[in-house]
Amino acid sequence: MNAITLVIGAICILVIAYRFYGIFFTKKVLKINEDKPTPAHEKNDGQDYVPTNRWVAFGHHFAAIAAAGPLVGPILAAQFGYLPGYLWLLIGAVIGGAVHDAVVLFASMTKGGKSLSEVMREELGPVAGFCTGLAMLFIITITMAGLSMVILGALAENPWGTFAVAATIPIAMLMGLINKFTGNLKLSTIIGVVLLVAAVFYGPSIQGTWLGEVLTLDRETLSILLPIYAFFAAALPIWFLLAPRDYLSSFMKIGVFIALIIGVFIINPTIQFPAIIPDFLGGGGPIVAGPVWPFVSITIACGAISGFHAFVGSGTTPKMLNRWEDIRVVGFGAMLVECVVGVMALIAATVLHPGDYFAINSTPEKFATLGMSVVDLPALSEAIGMDLEGRTGGAVTLAVGMASIFAGVEWFSHLTAYFYQFVIMFEAVFILTAIDAGTRTARYLIQDFLGNVYKPLKKTDWLPGAIGASALACVMWGYLLNSGDIASVWALFGVSNQLMASIGLVCGVTFVLKIADKRIYVLTCFIPLVYLYITVNVAGFWMVKNVYWNSMAGGYNILNGILSIIMLTLGLIIVITSFIKWRELWAHPRFKKQATAN
């Protein structure tokens, strides 16, 4: 199998889906129009509610949703072969992910930019609202820990990569200041891109210096610094760090993957993985412990359908959109672009020899039991200047896979180390942008949730509340980050994330039943909801039984099992409450009139 075939097939399907299904869903099902101003105009406060150019909003939204998920998930799921992940990415994104993102964004904007928990409270009552808020708080905490876990393996003992990533913070702040006081987006973009490239190429010169020693950090130190950074990012005004870096990193990410697509067309690498690896379909793999179903749909979340998108779609993005029509570009479109990222990540992993792939993503002890041997990895390690074996988490695999593709271009082969560090940087930057947006969303959730007890907390611009809620959010996910490994935390993230996506689709079913002209339109949300809800429950109980509460398993963790049970129970309560509301909406007189007319 050649990589070009997979790329062309994916792009064609996604373009057709955006052109036809995207217009149908936004125009016919959601009935989007410009009859009233968006929340960004109604509540413009210069900090959270800010009317934003659609492409800047797209950049923020895409950067926030397309963090580690579409990069890491497909790479980890390659354990089953390339076909299960490829099919799930395309089917999940078109049928589920794009619909989910657009409808949650629409619902939040309809309610003035409120969080999903507030929307569910107004639509389904206090029980569903409380359970949604509590579930979202659990899920966003686990999500931040899962995303942050990916950074640790890539930046640990890597001063070059750490310097490049750290440099993006002042670069983004400079861009924010230029945008704020001059409004010159083109100038800030040029300055940001130039400084970003300069940071990567300057990186090698710090090695062996005092600065290089300061930035040579172990996993434990990084796991403490990340929550501290997130605290400041969540408390600062959105225009100062969050929006400009999201915008910059979106250009970087899209640019890198366009370059990768061009590289695939020029080099046409061969997919070295088989379509299916039978040994691991039933479970017992070294990376993903469970069977291909339901775990391919749990391991690959972002890129197909992801509950984390509901946090962004009912957090920062609905407070930024300038026009209602921007929902199709920002909500529906960004999800499909993210699917392309997921497909390219899958290709980057599967062009590696399976032995090299498993050597990177397994511990040396586990790899020794697989009966495999490395092929190209020693040469790649020498070219990059790092030992690559046992660097689990997926980030290193992506960087190695992309570097190996471009190594096929003769003039590029001597720049392998630079490209590897650049890919590490842009992966880390995207994870940090998701941490920025996710922690800020967690701050909103905490303020919403605790604001029912102490009213001033409801005000997002109240400084003591913003600082206190940001600190609490960082402490919670920072604790999880410091108490697990990628195998246990990513699986917990996957289950919680897809449960959140189910809750977002529950909201979608409710809104479509309220506003749609035809009952059948509800299937746009109901079909993906049924599949995803069954999948997440099977996966959740499998993990509790076979891993979290199994003292013989490597991921044995009582706390993770308790969190899983609590989340699945909250999801069940929400679904039961929703069915009661759906029965009322289904019996609405307008539907009966339509049935009589037909």
SS (H, E, C) 92-122: HHHHHHHHHHHHHHHHHHHCCCCCHHHHHHH
Q: Average of pLDDT values for 573-578?
A: 93
How far from each other are the two terminal CA atoms of the chain, in whole angstroms? 50
- Which residues, other chains included, contact 571 with Cβ-Cβ below 8 Å and sequence gap of 6+? 135, 499, 502, 503, 533, 536, 537
Query: Looking at residue 589, what is its pLDDT?
Result: 62
Q: Closest by alpha carbon to 76, among 500, 487, 541?
A: 487
- C-alpha 343/C-alpha 79 separation (Å) is 15
- C-alpha 302/C-alpha 349 separation (Å) is 17
Buried b / exposed e across 26-51, counting CB within 10 Å, b at 16+?
beebbebeeeeebbbeeeeeeebbbb
Alpha-carbon separation of residue 481 from 144, 398, 407 (angstroms): 8, 22, 35
- C-alpha 175/C-alpha 117 separation (Å) is 33
Assign 259 a pLDDT band (cuts: 50, 70, 90). confident
- C-alpha 458/C-alpha 445 separation (Å) is 9
Query: Looking at residue 573, what is its pLDDT?
Result: 93
> Residue 274 burial by CB count (10 A; 0-12/13-18/19+): exposed, middle or buried?
middle
Q: Is 321 helix (H, G, I), strand (E, B) or coil?
A: strand
Query: Looking at residue 381, what is its pLDDT?
Result: 83
- C-alpha 67/C-alpha 84 separation (Å) is 22
Q: Residue type for 70, please?
A: P
DSSP letters of 30-96? S----SS--HHHHT--SSSS--B-HHHHHHHHHHHHSSSHHHHHHHHHGGG-HHHHHHHHHHIIIII
Q: Average of pLDDT values for 80-98?
A: 96
Find the farthest-apart pair of alpha carbons in the chain and give their distance in angstroms, rounded: 80
Q: What is the DSSP letter of 320?
A: T
Query: Looking at residue 548, what is its pLDDT?
Result: 86
Q: Is 367 helix (H, G, I), strand (E, B) or coil?
A: helix
Q: Average of pLDDT values for 516-532?
A: 94
Least confident of 123-137, 341-355, 537-551: 123-137
Query: Looking at residue 597, what is its pLDDT?
Result: 46
Alpha-carbon separation of residue 548 from 79, 287, 498, 557 (angstroms): 21, 16, 18, 5
> Residue 5 burial by CB count (10 A; 0-12/13-18/19+): exposed, middle or buried?
exposed
Query: Looking at residue 537, what is its pLDDT?
Result: 96
What are the two backbone dihedrals, phi and then psi, of residue 452, each rounded to the nearest 5 degrees?
Answer: -70, -20
Query: Looking at residue 339, what is its pLDDT?
Result: 94
Mean of per-residue pLDDT scores for the chain: 84
- C-alpha 544/C-alpha 563 separation (Å) is 10
Beta carbons of 275 and 78 less than 8 angstroms apart = no
pTM of the model: 0.83
